[in-house]
Structure 1
């Protein structure tokens, strides 16, 4: 009984996929010949499938929209170089899946970096009256942090010292204090924090919770 139910369903799915693959191949060949209508119709049919594929990788709606759009743009850009139009469907699904995975991973990595930067900034901005000494502080994590802060270039120490002590630093004030263009403060701060984060990450005496 199971074979009687599952067999036809699986066969139907295979037929549907094969039909879509042939439709995609036809759209590619027609586009090369100057007829864009089949490709426009393919966009309407395949976009929901690509959307589902991308969302299944963990992409949010905005990310999914960007990935799906880029898949179509890439297809049009490279449509003349496709060797086997019959493989278009499979190529698009694989491309969408990989692009979604990379997008989600970059997003997670960026979120982790931001959280680490905020943690480091919080430590830098800790009230001095809570520390018995700026150089030799109370626990091993603090000692590791300040040791690596002291090892940063002087420009980084000055900049982080200014922007870490207030929630919304006035970049005009920072610019005047350090003689640094306002437009370079944000990028420089990011590079300084990246250096500090890299040093802390490789230090076994420091761990970010």
Structure 2
């Protein structure tokens, strides 16, 4: 049997049963040790999820392609800043979402400015005097919310962290990412949200927001 036939089979066996999060962590560790193979194999497996995340922010195909490529470049460039390899997947998804949001916002601002010189960008933002207060309230709510999310079981944290990145999460993608059966994602998400709702209801800081 030739090495060409053994190699792919060994690779398939190595990753069988592993979630994308586990594979991303392994790839980061291997890359730091000088082995680029696992990261190269991760690219075609993880790119569809990054693409879905970016497109969910309103990016068109050309923008999505640029953003996804940028995320991979950012990972290699900033790989040493990821202290916990298990956080690599979440880091990439958050980076993709933020980059896509900035790209889409800039595109809309540019389109607004070219549409007319008179009030073309007024629809892009609230009045200046309202923005700081609104942002402060939102940031404080987010702080309280994610503080309670961090107290949930790991399975809940990973699931809620992933599905919160897109408006309509693709359960097939979530299943591959977390290694979770598609049929259990909805019920698990419901139980996790119920636990989170109970914790937030009991928090007096949340009630006054």
Q: Which has the larger radius of gyration?
A: 1
TM-score (norm 2): 0.47
Q: Which has the higher contact order (CA 8 A, sep 6+)?
A: 2
Using structure 1 for the length normalisation, give the TM-score.
0.47
